[in-house]
Chains A and B, each alone.
Chain A
């Protein structure tokens, strides 16, 4: 496989479930500092692609290189430690813990069994928690039990938990699903702010939102890439109109 300058280079990636190819010889390259949005009809394999990159699903063939290091055989936690963060579609937060604890637990120190036993919540951790909480608009709610947050706040909290780890590649699966118009705006601003120092892959259906944030759009269909480029270019692509936007 080729050496690349890309943060993420996915080449010939294939995964088949009982013969059905959910991802079929797919190539995808993401630049440093790029915010890539992946769109596509249901069942196109968008979430599966993220699952493959973060290790939740094992690839049948192909290569995933992150910062030029092969990831396909690495355990999930090792991929995370090398700098890949993943947000799930439904908010995955620890409902019984406070907002503070949710963020604290995500701080990338004391990750081994004995490291976790010896972990001390020092000033550095508290400062980082406070700054991330401010970033995601939960700075005043640190003591609240996370289960009591609104749906939108939960989504932000999960993004905040990823920011605690300062990942170089952040993957978000439908971050604005179920949000109000106002929350969508805030989320768009948040994503624009946090993509300054990192690359991001976002799966989204809302076209207005995509147009607002995307640097580049990838359209997936039946496990393959149908089109790639700027929003305008993609929207005018007849193949794309045919399978997706035209409906």
Chain B
């Protein structure tokens, strides 16, 4: 038992397990499938948020274009599903049966060549992971090798988000334009619109998210994680210790892109469509807000941030249809002004020391109540000094 406890403490897994219990047990028990499906949608933003923790919080690379990668992952998935939904029988009223409906509306008479491979699920899945990552690699390699960073890089990612939206909307015949790719039905013959499918997809999504968080925790604890933090502090010192700093930033950015893409693909599966409204500048900035509210140094916090902001969005928009945007804005401003390190920052700076103090006084009063007999109660460990960044001080 002690061993298990030590394991949990050591790897910082306590909060990870609480999150796992919440999304795997509490939410499914407490909510009907409509609400649960909404939570599943919010959790897909959690992928983007943990990606931002890795690249913005840890790597110091602010990206205001994560929607691009979320969208590319989502579109790759949607293209496969759309082709499956566009078999010649169900599209027989079109002038060219067997191609997606929006192509038919745009006077296309054959499936474009680059759509062909998306008939195959393995290709689509590989594309979900690799297309956004490759794009991220090209952008970040070109920028970081030239030492473009900070706010300039953020602006460039915004430009990419804008270009991507314009491209998708402009190429209506190939992308579905402003409506996006809609009317998705089945995945390899399995109807994804039924309630049972929604349950299964919710759990698949939740497990995938937890897996990604675990992977990121592992990256943070590796030397690479230490180096990312070191780079934020003293970039030149890292460079002159023999590291190619730019490649580490490229890695952080590509990792964030790949995580966003997984989120996008899961979004498409659970929500049933993908459109440019998840690609542009505004959704990209919203995604940064999820990470900022949750705490950009905390993977778990960022997931709570994504959940909380989206719950807020749904709740405010249902209850105060006229006011909800203002309420959301004040939530963002309030959190960022009052807690610069987000909710996770509040936890480490206020809740944790308070718990430690309480534990210490309890142990003290117990020690006073029970006079030292044969075996005195174990002395409580002194409250550990909180590192500014969780998980920084590694046991040596």
- A: residues with CB less than 8 A from B are 54, 56, 75-77, 80-81, 85-86, 88, 92-98, 100-101, 104-106, 108, 110-113, 116-119, 121, 126, 142-143, 145, 158, 161, 165
In whole angstroms, how far apart are the Cα atoms of A184 and B321 in the complex?
A: 69
In whole angstroms, how far apart are the Cα atoms of A54 and B242 in the complex?
A: 11
In whole angstroms, how far apart are the Cα atoms of A77 and B223 in the complex?
A: 17
Q: Which residues of A contact B392 (CB under 8 A)?
A: 96-97
Whether the Cβ atoms of A86 and B233 lie closer than 8 Å is no
18 extra interface residue pairs, beta carbon distance < 8 Å, beyond A94-B233, A105-B230, A105-B238: A77-B239, A77-B243, A85-B240, A86-B240, A93-B234, A97-B229, A97-B392, A101-B394, A105-B223, A105-B226, A105-B241, A116-B222, A116-B227, A117-B219, A117-B222, A143-B393, A145-B387, A161-B237
User: Which of B219, B224, B226, B240 has the most C-beta atoms of chain A within 10 angstroms of its own C-beta?
Assistant: B240
User: Which of B223, B236, B247 has the most C-beta atoms of chain A within 10 angstroms of its own C-beta?
Assistant: B223
Q: Which residues of A contact B219 (CB under 8 A)?
A: 117
B388 within 8 A of A: yes
Q: Which residues of B contact A119 (CB under 8 A)?
A: 222-224
Q: Specify the chain A residue showing the minimal Cβ separation from B229.
A: A96
In whole angstroms, how far apart are the Cα atoms of A75 and B241 in the complex?
A: 12
Whether the Cβ atoms of A113 and B224 lie closer than 8 Å is yes
Identify A161's interface contact among B239, B241, B251, B396, CB under 8 A: B241
A54-B240, A98-B393 as given contacts; A116 in contact with B223, CB under 8 Å: yes
User: Which of A75, A76, A100 has the most C-beta atoms of chain B within 10 angstroms of its own C-beta?
Assistant: A76
In whole angstroms, how far apart are the Cα atoms of A165 and B240 in the complex?
A: 11
In whole angstroms, how far apart are the Cα atoms of A100 and B396 in the complex?
A: 8
Whether the Cβ atoms of A96 and B394 lie closer than 8 Å is no
B25 within 8 A of A: no
Identify A165's interface contact among B223, B238, B242, B393, CB under 8 A: B242
In whole angstroms, how far apart are the Cα atoms of A54 and B240 in the complex?
A: 8
Min CB–CB distance B54 → chain A (angstroms): 13
In whole angstroms, how far apart are the Cα atoms of A58 and B169 in the complex?
A: 45
B21 within 8 A of A: no
Min CB–CB distance B244 → chain A (angstroms): 5
Min CB–CB distance A114 → chain B (angstroms): 9
Which of B110-133 touch A at CB < 8 Å? none
Q: Which residues of B contact A158 (CB under 8 A)?
A: 237
Identify B244's interface contact among A75, A94, A121, A165, CB under 8 A: A75
Q: Which residues of B contact A116 (CB under 8 A)?
A: 222-224, 227, 248
B18 within 8 A of A: no
Identify A94's interface contact among B234, B251, B387, B388, CB under 8 A: B234
Q: Specify the chain B residue showing the minimal Cβ separation from A120.
A: B223
Q: Which residues of A contact B394 (CB under 8 A)?
A: 98, 101
Q: Which residues of B contact A111 (CB under 8 A)?
A: 242-244
In whole angstroms, how far apart are the Cα atoms of A85 and B239 in the complex?
A: 11
Q: Which residues of A contact B240 (CB under 8 A)?
A: 54, 56, 76, 80, 85-86, 88
Q: Specify the chain A residue showing the minimal Cβ separation from B385.
A: A145
Min CB–CB distance A201 → chain B (angstroms): 14
Q: Which residues of A contact B230 (CB under 8 A)?
A: 94, 97, 105
25 contacts between A and B (CB under 8 A): A56-B240, A76-B240, A77-B239, A77-B245, A88-B236, A92-B236, A92-B237, A93-B234, A94-B230, A94-B234, A94-B237, A97-B392, A98-B393, A98-B396, A101-B226, A104-B226, A105-B226, A113-B247, A113-B248, A116-B224, A118-B222, A121-B223, A143-B393, A165-B241, A165-B242
Whether the Cβ atoms of A117 and B393 lie closer than 8 Å is no
Whether the Cβ atoms of A96 and B239 lie closer than 8 Å is no
In whole angstroms, how far apart are the Cα atoms of A161 and B176 in the complex?
A: 56
B239-262 vs A, Cβ < 8 Å mask (1 yes, 0 no): 111111101101100000000000
B325 within 8 A of A: no
User: Which of B242, B388, B394 has the most C-beta atoms of chain A within 10 angstroms of its own C-beta?
Assistant: B242
Q: Which residues of B contact A117 (CB under 8 A)?
A: 219, 222-224
Q: Which residues of A contact B247 (CB under 8 A)?
A: 112-113
In whole angstroms, how far apart are the Cα atoms of A75 and B146 in the complex?
A: 12
In whole angstroms, how far apart are the Cα atoms of A173 and B229 in the complex?
A: 25
Min CB–CB distance A107 → chain B (angstroms): 9
In whole angstroms, how far apart are the Cα atoms of A184 and B237 in the complex?
A: 23
List the 6 shortest-distance A-B pairs measured between CB atoms, nearest first.
A80-B242, A119-B223, A116-B224, A92-B237, A94-B230, A116-B223
In whole angstroms, how far apart are the Cα atoms of A212 and B396 in the complex?
A: 38
B166 within 8 A of A: no
Min CB–CB distance A90 → chain B (angstroms): 10
Q: Specify the chain A residue showing the minimal Cβ separation from B388.
A: A96
In whole angstroms, how far apart are the Cα atoms of A158 and B224 in the complex?
A: 20
Identify A56's interface contact among B226, B236, B243, B389, CB under 8 A: B236
Identify B242's interface contact among A96, A104, A108, A142, CB under 8 A: A108
In whole angstroms, how far apart are the Cα atoms of A108 and B230 in the complex?
A: 15
Min CB–CB distance A19 → chain B (angstroms): 24
A96-B389, A116-B223 as given contacts; A106 in contact with B229, CB under 8 Å: no
In whole angstroms, how far apart are the Cα atoms of A123 and B137 in the complex?
A: 35
Q: Specify the chain A residue showing the minimal Cβ separation from B237.
A: A92
Min CB–CB distance A169 → chain B (angstroms): 13
Q: Specify the chain B residue showing the minimal Cβ separation from A113.
A: B251
Min CB–CB distance B286 → chain A (angstroms): 29
In whole angstroms, how far apart are the Cα atoms of A116 and B247 in the complex?
A: 11
Identify B227's interface contact among A98, A105, A108, A121, CB under 8 A: A105
In whole angstroms, how far apart are the Cα atoms of A143 and B385 in the complex?
A: 12
Identify B387's interface contact among A93, A96, A105, A110, CB under 8 A: A96
In whole angstroms, how far apart are the Cα atoms of A92 and B235 in the complex?
A: 9
Min CB–CB distance A72 → chain B (angstroms): 17
B363-396 vs A, Cβ < 8 Å mask (1 yes, 0 no): 0000000000000000000000001110011101
Whether the Cβ atoms of B236 and A110 lie closer than 8 Å is no
Min CB–CB distance A176 → chain B (angstroms): 19
Whether the Cβ atoms of A93 and B237 lie closer than 8 Å is yes
